[in-house]
């Protein structure tokens, strides 16, 4: 059921006292920012709110207010607190995902909870697994969906600075600092409200995009010089990263974030694909796709890589070797050759 925040406000949030907020596996800036914004909002209203994510999130997001309280399902030390939070929850908010399997190891516990579930998301084709579904695929980020709901409720000018910081970061991260999927004027109307709350958007940008480890910079140079293949006739770049190379550079979680975007700086490039061996599941290749213009990353990801996402930013996974993944990527590029001319 689609609804507005006013319905949640009156029928669910008002009745709740212990809320669990969860996000997708491999949480990104939109997932973490949106979940924390909801946590701060609920706590401001006198609720107890706990953010739980399936696995670790990038280090460059750990400056956001509230990250030190996030429970991580793959962390054995958090298991007892996670179970206790889900057991007492009288409301579950599922944030920034459209399918329950994107909860990964959290899926079973969340789906078995007796608490009503609310989905807040912006991805296409949400599954029917929550009692309330708030889905706006036309919006740039789940952070924008929350801004929209708060604005409808007349509360956007009353949020705390922590809420505003998290919402801005969520939208900024999911649009590449507002460089794609961000042409709708209302986005900037919401941003003006957030700026009025006192956020330092310049500092938020530096925290995310201009704070890097030495290992990340060296890895970036290596990937571009050694591991990038440019298909000039297809206006496409392919980069790869194995776990052996990851260990060589001693990179940490988050050091590869955003690298897939760099090849799109090459004049005429339309598509960039990054094949990254999964650190937690050897033999699984994670694929990130980014495009410019009207090339449909989401269609390619769904058709060839068991994934999906947005038109200009999508992802997927393959259970295979790196060599097999490269073969599959080249086949996908050949299939879409006409659109890549």
CB 194 within 8 A of CB 164: yes
Query: Residue 290 and residue 225: Cα distance in Å, rounded?
Result: 19
In the sheet that 117-121 helps form, which strands lie side by side, from edge to edge? 71-72, 48-53, 18-23, 91-95, 117-121, 132-135
Query: Residue 130 and residue 132: Cα distance in Å, rounded?
Result: 5
As annotated, the residues of the chain forming the CATH 3.10.310.30 domain(s) are 214-340
Domain 214-340 belongs to what topology? Diaminopimelate Epimerase; Chain A, domain 1 (3.10.310)
CB 144 within 8 A of CB 122: yes
Instruction: Give bridge partners of residue 21 from the DSSP assignment.
Output: 51, 93
As annotated, the residues of the chain forming the CATH 3.90.1640.10 domain(s) are 5-209
Strand segments (E) across the chain: 18-23, 48-53, 71-72, 91-95, 117-121, 132-135, 228-231, 236-241, 271-277, 284-291, 308-309, 313-319
pLDDT in tens, the chain (341 residues): 455 555 455 578 889 999 999 999 989 999 999 999 999 999 999 999 999 999 999 889 999 999 999 999 999 999 999 999 999 999 999 999 999 999 999 999 999 999 999 999 999 899 999 999 999 999 999 999 999 999 998 999 999 999 999 999 999 999 999 988 899 999 999 999 999 999 999 999 999 998 888 998 999 999 999 999 999 999 999 999 999 999 999 987 678 888 999 999 999 999 999 999 988 778 899 999 999 999 999 999 999 999 988 899 999 999 999 999 999 999 999 999 999 98
Picking from 233, 217, 207, 231, the residue whose alpha carbon sits closest to that of residue 338 is 233
Contacts of 56 (CB under 8 A, 6+ apart): 72, 74, 75, 253
Phi, psi angle pair for 3, to nearest 5° = -155, 180
Provide the whole-model pTM. Answer: 0.90
pLDDT at 1: 44
Question: What's the CATH number for 5-209?
Answer: 3.90.1640.10
């Amino acid at each position: 059921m689609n609804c507005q925040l006013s319905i949640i406000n009156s029928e669910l949030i008002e009745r709740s006292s212990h809320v669990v907020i969860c996000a997708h596996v491999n949480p990104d800036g939109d997932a973490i920012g949106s979940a924390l914004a909801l946590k701060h909002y609920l706590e401001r209203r006198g609720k107890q709110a706990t953010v739980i994510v399936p696995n670790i999130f990038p280090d460059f997001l750990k400056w956001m207010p509230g990250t030190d309280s996030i429970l991580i399902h793959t962390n054995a030390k958090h298991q007892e607190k996670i179970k206790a939070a889900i057991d007492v929850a009288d409301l579950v908010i599922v944030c920034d995902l459209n399918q329950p399997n994107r909860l990964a190891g959290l899926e079973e516990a969340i789906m078995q909870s007796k608490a009503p579930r609310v989905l807040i998301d912006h991805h296409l084709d949400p599954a029917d697994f929550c009692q309330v579904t708030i889905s706006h695929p036309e919006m740039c980020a789940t952070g924008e969906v929350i801004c929209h709901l708060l604005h409808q409720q007349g509360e956007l000018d009353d949020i705390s600075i922590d809420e505003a910081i998290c919402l801005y970061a969520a939208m900024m991260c999911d649009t590449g600092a507002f460089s794609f999927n961000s042409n709708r004027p209302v986005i900037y109307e919401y941003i003006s409200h957030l700026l009025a709350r006192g956020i330092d958007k310049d500092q938020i940008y530096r925290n995310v995009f201009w704070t890097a480890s030495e290992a990340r910079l060296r890895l970036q140079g290596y990937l571009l010089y050694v591991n990038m293949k440019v298909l000039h006739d297809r206006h496409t770049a392919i980069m790869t990263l194995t776990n052996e190379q990851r260990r060589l550079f001693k990179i940490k979680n988050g050091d590869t974030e955003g690298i897939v975007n760099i090849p799109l700086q090459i004049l005429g490039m339309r598509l960039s694909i990054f094949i990254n061996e999964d650190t937690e599941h050897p033999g699984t290749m994670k694929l990130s796709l980014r495009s410019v213009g009207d090339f449909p990353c989401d269609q390619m990801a769904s058709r060839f890589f068991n994934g999906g996402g947005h038109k200009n930013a999508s992802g997927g996974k393959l259970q295979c070797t790196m060599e097999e993944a490269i073969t599959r990527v080249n086949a996908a590029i050949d299939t879409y050759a006409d659109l890549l001319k």
